[in-house]
Chain A
Amino acid sequence: MDDDLNCREAVRLMSVALERILTEAETSLLQRHLSDCLDCRNFEVQVKFIHRAASRFRSGE
């Protein structure tokens, strides 16, 4: 299968994942990309961090 994600598509899927559960096919495509791509792994950590920062911001601590 020649349907590997590029970074732009991987980032889109990561954003989608925050709104709904990914399909199995989407999940495996994303995992495959992440295992090969340090940039997107860094990005993934950052988006999760931003999510936690936003909740902290809410409580003001």
Chain B
Amino acid sequence: MTDARFAEIEGHRPYLMRYALAQLRDAQLAEEAVQEALVSALENIATFGGKSTLRTWLTSILRFKVIDLQRRIISDRNNLEFTDFAAETGDESWLDDLFAPDGHWKAHPQSWGNPEAAFEQRRFWEVFERCLDGLPAAGGRVFFKREVMGEETEAICKAERITPSNCWVILHRARLGLRTCLEKNWFGKEASVG
């Protein structure tokens, strides 16, 4: 085990925390799962054949740790707190920040040029993560499960114990929030230059 390899694995910790948090909704449990997964990864690094990316391999180890923990806490489930978003009311006033009363954009979406170029830049991913962190907690979780992990919306709603329509609103809001954040903090600045 070289120091470089160790640092490389550690570099995925924030992503793994995000994954664990989305599944477990509890920072302490998530921390525990990630810690166990990383220890196990370091012990078994010799079995990593490079067939998948390192992140995918680490995530698959973490997945088992998460399932273990979920089994352990399943009896406490009813005590968990869920929605931190008042979607129940059908309140769409948050859209008023984006759209004028006549339904047109307040701030016109700009062209992002060739956005794929951003994938190659480490700083873009830092901004991307910061924007994810800026979403309301439920929005961040639901977006992560839907868009990053590719889970079905129906399964996500069930796990979050919210109705499909609330789930949809949370997701819709998260997408719009992420878009605004990226435009403000990345494309607004970079795309115009390059």
Contact = CB atoms under 8 A, between A and B. Distances in A.
Nearest to B104: A7
Contact of B56 (A7, A50, A59): A59
Secondary structure class of chain B's binding surface, majority of residues: helix
Contact of A39 (B12, B59, B109, B183): B109
B120 to A, nearest CB: 10
Contacts, number: 90
Nearest to A44: B109
B171 A49 contact: no
B102 A60 contact: no
Contact of A43 (B53, B109, B116, B119): B109
B37 interface: no
A46 B110 CA distance: 9
Interface of B: 12, 15, 52-56, 59, 95, 98-99, 102-105, 108-112, 115-116, 118-119, 125, 128, 143, 147-150, 153, 168, 171-172, 175-176, 178-179, 182-183
